[in-house]
Structure 1
């Protein structure tokens, strides 16, 4: 059974959903998602684990700091570490998708001793993603949306017509084919409509300062990204990477060199 809880950790309040008992497996969502993306995984893994899916900071029912700098990766990593500690676990398995995957990579680099296993689903490794943004024209084209997300007009664009752009991007194909339902659509719109939630999610992009090079950003540097502050980008935790090859935003070039 799914239980909704709150934890006051790392200076904020995190909402999370938990099910089951045993070793901890934590699921970190991406943009523009929330804990709900993992509801089926919670139901499956509660058989053998304490399965937990938080609303990441800035999303849905979790705290939404107004300072953009508080969405830098070191804060996001510490949120998850502190939540695991709050739940009474020193080591756990971390699963991350999209932005949650980027945070999970950084977590494994910062705190390898805290992880038993790392599972990444279409979440770019910070060093590899920087390379792709610098050197791969296809990834540069695919990442143009990041420039929109960092703009002051992003909230207006994405919330227009009852979040039509987000509904289409996240749920559109699934609604057509029947594996997403009207209930799913309503749940997402409710999460996006929480005060400050859309800005909170977009602040991940603004804080990371990562994106394709542009004429307006001629001085874009690889260091201004999710890799900032990391002395080494090598992951020393047993890692499984799962990648949907039809992902139009994160291309398969992000897999090249991961085993080095």
Structure 2
């Protein structure tokens, strides 16, 4: 563990789930918040959010399995949703956190939606940052040609094997922050990618013929939900946000952010942080430091 006495408390370590080690960082103290990244990304992607909320929260940023320095288990079945959910629980247990506010982007948002649906007693609130609403997406991909077209980017991921060309420039092309795009590209160059892409293989990601895809069915969310959406998302149309009342029992707040794409929290960090801060105060009853 590493800590600093001159800045908000910081630490890092590993939680274990069977043979898998999940790396995490912690900064600050107070009510717990956990941010979970997606692909292609690293846990440091939430730097602006960590800086803001570590002033009065314990901010936890795990690294998904398959992404070094977390373990990279080899088999596709090692990336099934139940194991990913267990990874989140392992981090919370390691830190002694009983209840947490969850915030997830891309695959991280999907994992946290499943976690919150099955472990509602541990979730104070759930924020979804440009991650499709699980129940809506599964139905939409079967029927909407435009969303099927948008999802063509992931078809090569399903054919990827160790040693194949990574095509990193193409994978990172929609990261608007040039410095962060270079950072992610360097990370992908240095890291194995087969674990990262096993998420698509193990998660039942829909492929042609889409009407045969197996749906992921989860219970409705019982915690309050915030959806923050970059309106210029390159991968998912606004239709993935339709009819969320079927998925959210305790209500929701939905915010569209202009001049932001899939990485809404990096494209417009001040706007996103203000929306999260407002939601924490008005819906979850937390006051800022």
TM range (shorter): 0.7 to 0.9
- Distance in 1 separating the partners of 2:81 and 2:234: 24
Query: Residues 53-110 of structure 1, C-alpha deviation per residue, up to 9 Å, x if partnerless?
Result: 1111111310011011110111111100111111111110000011111111111111
Query: Residues 166-216 of structure 1, C-alpha deviation per residue, up to 9 Å, x if partnerless?
Result: 33232xx322xxxxx2xx3453234223442x11110100101212433xx
Structure 1 residues 190 and 174: CA distance shift in structure 2, 3 A? closer
Tell me which residue corresponds to 1:199: 194
What is the RMSD of the two structures over their aligned residues, measured on CA atoms? 2.0
- Distance in 2 separating the partners of 1:166 and 1:213: 21
Cα contact 2:206–2:213 (8 A) shared by 1: no
Tell me which residue corresponds to 2:172: 167
- Distance in 2 separating the partners of 1:213 and 1:234: 27
Tell me which residue corresponds to 2:275: none
- Distance in 1 separating the partners of 2:16 and 2:214: 33
Paired residue secondary structure (2:231): coil
Tell me which residue corresponds to 1:88: 96
Cα contact 2:204–2:214 (8 A) shared by 1: no
Tell me which residue corresponds to 1:5: 13
Distance apart, 1:236 and its partner CA: 0.8
Matched, 1:188 2:184: yes
Tell me which residue corresponds to 1:27: 35
Distance apart, 1:222 and its partner CA: 2.7
Tell me which residue corresponds to 2:230: 244
Please give the residue correspondences for 1:31-50 in structure 2 after superposition, counting only pairs within 5 Å. Answer: 31-50=39-58
Query: Residues 2-43 of structure 1, C-alpha deviation per residue, up to 9 Å, x if partnerless?
Result: 543222234311111210012210001011111011112111
Please give the residue correspondences for 1:42-61 in structure 2 after superposition, counting only pairs within 5 Å. Answer: 42-61=50-69
Unaligned ranges ≥5, structure 1: 176-180
Tell me which residue corresponds to 1:76: 84
Paired residue secondary structure (2:35): strand
Cα contact 1:65–1:200 (8 A) shared by 2: yes
Unaligned ranges ≥5, structure 2: 1-6, 247-289
Large movers: runs of 4+ above 6 Å: none
Please give the residue correspondences for 1:66-145 in structure 2 after superposition, counting only pairs within 5 Å. Answer: 66-145=74-153
- The count of aligned residue pairs is 238
Which has the higher relative contact order, 1 or 2, with Cα contacts under 8 A spaced 6 or more apart? 1
Paired residue secondary structure (2:212): coil
- Distance in 1 separating the partners of 2:211 and 2:184: 37
| TM-score where L is the length of structure 1 | 0.85
